[in-house]
Structure 1
Amino acid sequence: MSASKRDELVQNALKAFYTGGFHAIGMDRLAKETGVSKTAIYSHFRTKDDLILATLRLRDEQFRNWLVRRVEALAKDPKDQLLAIFDALAEWFAEPNFKSCMFIKASSEYQDRSHPVHAISAEHKKLLRDYFTGLAKKAKLKKPEDLARQILILKEGAIVLAHLHDRETVARDAKQAAKILIKTATE
């Protein structure tokens, strides 16, 4: 299988896992949904978990790149960029294919913290927290690490509630809470 076919497989597997879950999608269904035989899948990925890890690495790259680009397009000042996170989330929540966070799903299906799927999910959240910390430091806000954790909590909660309840108001509500946190970190 060529690198481009492998990349296509990972992209299609990402879609399948995102919509159907990790444990619910067996290899037969995955082969059917990706159009790639199980033999071809196993020629590139020793196990299903290896394929899951590849999809999570791709999703991490896609999501973080998208978020940074959107935040930078929506605001120039680092303090405003911290708020723009929630504007970007509102756009994501409005997408018809929004089905929550792939990493929240992965970590809940693979609850053992030592499992590589759980670990890569935790790493994704750490990288987001690091990005938020960097913005808080650029904005010269007090206790930037604390603020970044709090913004991450708001972001994660907004994702869960957008999936469970009202997609249209949750990002706005989280942004209002973030404004209070940022104001406190400014004083």
Structure 2
Amino acid sequence: MDSASARLRVLDAAEELFYRRGVKSVGMDDIRAASGVSLKRLYQLFPAKEQLVEAYLERRDTRWRGRLATHVELHEDPRERILAVFDWLRGWFGEEGFRGCAWINAYGELGATSRAVAGQVRAHKRAFREYLAGLVADAGLAPELAGQLFLLAEGAMVTAGVTGRTEPADEARAAARALVGAR
């Protein structure tokens, strides 16, 4: 197996295990067993678990934001695009195995002790907020609305993760609709 294939298998296993069980409860031997990659090869690819967590969060960020943007782009009206963010969140919250926001979860476990993990979490949250700011600008709305929408979305993520319900997305969407004055 070449390095690219081994890396992909390790990241796939890490994502599934870290998201489902939490980062701290998953050891490198668990990743080895789930990926089928030898422990020696695993440590060649990721000399420390922190590096694997960082790579997992970075890859997940790219996919998460890509899925969100693909959904939002289905809507033409700029204000409806903002509301589509909350519709997408509802769908995500309803997915099998949803356990909340991977970045918030990772920050809760490692943010105080890992600069690398905290950096990945901050980068993800900054990019999401900037994405919302772009949608707000496209809709010709006041720039400060981006921060308010960001807090609505983040609150919905945390609440959905804790309760296991999709309704927080609907409640946040209703508040967003009032803020943007959408039809």
Contact map agreement 1:158 1:170 (CA 8 A) in 2: yes
Q: CA deviation at 1:50?
A: 0.6
* Aligned match of 1:36: 37
Q: CA deviation at 1:151?
A: 0.9
Q: CA deviation at 1:30?
A: 1.9
Q: CA deviation at 1:88?
A: 0.4
Alignment of 1:62 onto 2:60: no
* Aligned match of 1:128: 128
What is the one-letter code of the residue matched to 1:151? L
* Aligned match of 1:102: 102
Q: CA deviation at 1:111?
A: 2.6
> What is the SS of the residue equivalent to 1:167?
coil
Unmatched runs of 5 consecutive residues or more in structure 1 = none
C-alpha change, 1:99 and 1:69, in structure 2 (3 Å) is: same
Unmatched runs of 5 consecutive residues or more in structure 2 = none
Alignment of 1:178 onto 2:157: no
What is the one-letter code of the residue matched to 2:177? K
Contact map agreement 1:89 1:171 (CA 8 A) in 2: yes
CA distance in structure 2 between the partners assigned to 1:65 and 1:110 by the alignment: 25
C-alpha change, 1:136 and 1:113, in structure 2 (3 Å) is: farther
Percent of aligned positions with the same letter in both sequences?
37
What is the one-letter code of the residue matched to 2:165? R
Offset from partner CA, 1:24-80 (integer Å, 9 cap, x none): 11112221222222211101111111111111110000000000001112x212211
C-alpha change, 1:109 and 1:83, in structure 2 (3 Å) is: same
Aligned length: 181
Query: After TM superposition, which residue ranges in structure 1, 4 or more long, deviate above 4 angstroms?
Result: none
Correspondence list, 1:62-81, <5 A? 62-73=63-74, 75-81=75-81
Contact map agreement 2:99 2:164 (CA 8 A) in 1: no
* Aligned match of 2:90: 90
What is the one-letter code of the residue matched to 1:180? A
Q: CA deviation at 1:113?
A: 7.8
> What is the SS of the residue equivalent to 2:73?
helix
CA distance in structure 1 between the partners assigned to 2:28 and 2:97 by the alignment: 23
